[in-house]
Amino acid sequence: MTTVSVKIDAKLVKELRDKSGAPMGDCLKALQESNGDIEGAFVVLRKRGMASAQKKAARSTNEGAVGTYIHAGGKIGVLLEINCESDFVARTDDFQNLLKDIAMHIAASDPKFVRPDDVTPEDLDREREIYKAQAAATGKPAAVVEKIAEGKMAKFYEEVCLLEQPFIKDQSISIKELIAQKVGKLGENITVRRFARFKVGDPNWTVATTKMAEAAAE
């Protein structure tokens, strides 16, 4: 059986490279797999990026950088620390741009936690009880009430956890997937350690740290 190689236009490869940030060679392979469909190729790259990130997730991230973002007019400020495995990667334009993009995203989206695992039991219990009460008020059976509550909890994580939020500059991917793309490109594990968000006149500022970071500090 002969394998037919799909001829891909160089402009299409560049377009996917600009959209995904993946290396040109990976973009070409993804486009060939999707028969030239750029959206399908983007999905292929996202899956590979997540797989690559999962493989590297256990590797220590003891280097990194701290970045800031000040919203126009100086009303909102963000301080963010992202970690990687080497100082070399921390100084690359790709890593620095990731730092800036996520800091800007935090300023716009106001997450309260880094990851779902960081949500406090008190917050989880409060939200779950609210959702159960709302579902129960419709008169639905208990089993259905539980399913509705769990479905709303998934939405709750997306609203309050940085890594689960859709990226403000590209709603088709989450912050977790954005990081995974950089992991695939730079070849190192990358993690968000902590962030702080301040808004002028708002007493309820946000300071979020991963549980892993807290454990390491003890």
Distances (CA, A) of 6 to 39, 49, 82, 83, 91: 16, 23, 39, 39, 37
Of residues 53 and 117, the one with the higher pLDDT is: 117
- DSSP codes of every residue in 10-44: HHHHHHHHHHH---HHHHHHHHHHTTT-HHHHHHH
20 vs 60: CA distance, rounded Å: 25
The predicted model scores a pTM of 0.74
**Predicted confidence (pLDDT) per residue in 156-205, tens digit:** 888 999 999 999 999 989 999 999 989 988 889 999 999 999 999 888 88
| Sheet of strand 63-70, all strands in order from the earlier edge strand to the far edge | 63-70, 76-84, 191-199, 206-209
3 state SS of 195: strand
Across 145-162, average pLDDT: 86
Residues 34-61 have a mean pLDDT of 78
| Residue 65 φ/ψ, nearest 5 degrees | -155, 160
pLDDT over 60 at 4, yes or no? no
Supply 96's token pair. Answer: 């620095």
Element (H, E) at 100: helix 93-109
Question: Residue 16: which of 53, 47, 50, 41 has the closest Cα?
Answer: 41
Could you tell me if 85 and 188 are in contact, meaning their C-beta atoms sit under 8 angstroms apart? yes
Q: How confident is the model at residue 5 (pLDDT cuts 50, 70, 90)?
A: low
Half-sphere exposure of 3 (CA within 13 A, CB side): 4
Question: Tokens at residue 200, please?
Answer: 């002028």
The pLDDT score that the predictor gives to residue 21 is 67
Task: Note whether 62 and 85 are within 8 A (CB).
Answer: yes
- Rounded CA-CA distance 86/80 in Å is 18
**Averaged pLDDT for residues 6-27:** 77
Highest mean pLDDT among 23-27, 49-53, 83-87: 83-87
Cβ pair 32, 5 in contact under 8 A: yes
Q: What is the pLDDT of residue 35?
A: 86
Q: How many angstroms separate the first and last alpha carbons of the chain? A: 61
Helix (H) or strand (E) holding 196: strand 191-199
Query: Which whole number is the average pLDDT over 151-156?
Result: 83
pLDDT in tens, 55-108: 777 788 899 999 999 997 899 999 999 999 999 999 999 999 999 999 999 999
3-state helix, strand, coil in the chain (%, to 5): 55, 20, 25
